[in-house]
Amino acid sequence: RSWAWDRVLCKPIGFSLGFVKDEPHLFSPNPHTFGHPGAGGTLGFADPDAGIGFGYTMNRMDHRLRSPRALALAHALYTSPGLRRASR
């Protein structure tokens, strides 16, 4: 896994075996989470610690790379009472 400065996004991005590593606590509270934001605000990630996969897409493009709607849904997932809590 490596972190490097992305010249397009103008920020450090971490990659691991073709996946973007989660920026600390962006998608998930668990450190082994991996996934990828996409064009227009789409988001997909897996969290092996919690045993979940997450995918979000919409009908209209968002101008941001990380849609606030997608992040709000991911947050709602992790705060839902039915989610199996992973031991950290």
Rounded CA-CA distance 37/55 in Å is 10
Could you give the percent of the chain with pLDDT greater than 70?
Answer: 80
The CA angle 43-84-72, to the nearest 5 degrees, is: 35
- Span 58-84, mean pLDDT? 84
18-46 pLDDT per residue, tens: 666 656 667 788 888 888 888 788 888 99
Please state, rounded to an integer, the average pLDDT across all residues of the chain: 79
pLDDT at residue number 73: 92
